[in-house]
Amino acid sequence: MADDTHSLVAPYALDALDEQEERAFEQHLALCERCREDLAGLREAAAMLAYGAGRATPPPELKERILDQARAERANVVSIRRRRSWTIPLGAAAAVAACAAVVVGIWAATLQNSSDPLEKVLSQPGARLISMGRAGGVAVAPSGDAALAVALPQAPAGKTYEAWVIRSGRAARAGLFPGTAATSVVEIARPVPPGSVVAVTLERAGGVTQPTSKPLAQSKAT
């Protein structure tokens, strides 16, 4: 089954899957590093095919229509953003943008919920958001408080996701979570000192004392 799903990478790059196949492949993609790597190269080749069609000149009013609508949408977005004080210097790190999508989504969903662990970390002065690649990111405050925001599907039966704080090559347990179709927001159960790495592995239910598999998500050093 896993192999079969892997073979969907080229049809996916060409947008040649039906909706059901596409959903199945995207779930697989979240967990399969090899597919993500293959996809990056194949997508690039597929996009080049667009140039093979030749350029055509759209009517000038198309540009105006697009820009008018974009500006109209911006008015709404800005009003949401202003409701919260975003303490992270936005231009500071590419990492911020990398997980911004995930975080903004959660942020919107938790506007009413000040007990949200991510919000608790991000509201501290000097908090930073560190990318974990495609899976999401981790927010870390100078106090060592940290919270994960990761897109990992529900763990299979008998399994759990386990978070780790890794420092000087030593991994310390930092909490379990089940995963969900939406984004998981998880408080990291121990302080995250500067220079450490936060990672997530899939383990047997109940968790383990040391990671037994390759991380599904891993941050850069904090």
Partner 1 sequence: MGRDLVHLSDEALLSLVAGSDDAALAELYDRFGGVAYGVALRILRDEALAQDAVQEAFLAVWRTADRFLAERARASTWILTLVHRRAVDLVRREESRRVEPLERAPEPPAPESVDEEATSRFQRRIVQEALRRLPPEQRQALELGYYGGLTQSQLAEQLGQPLGTIKSRMFSGLTRLRDLLAQAGLEESIPS
Binding residues vs partner 1 (CB under 8 A) = 7-11, 13-18, 21, 36-37, 40-59, 62-63, 65-67, 69-71, 73-74, 77-78, 90, 94, 97-101, 104, 131, 133-134
How far apart are CB 167 and partner 1 at their closest, in Å?
Answer: 25
How far apart are CB 114 and partner 1 at their closest, in Å?
Answer: 24
Nearer to partner 1, 6 or 167 (CB): 6
The CA distance from 219 to 58, in Å, is 43
Nearer to partner 1, 59 or 125 (CB): 59
Nearer to partner 1, 90 or 157 (CB): 90
How far apart are CB 124 and partner 1 at their closest, in Å?
Answer: 22
How far apart are CB 41 and partner 1 at their closest, in Å?
Answer: 6
Nearer to partner 1, 135 or 171 (CB): 135
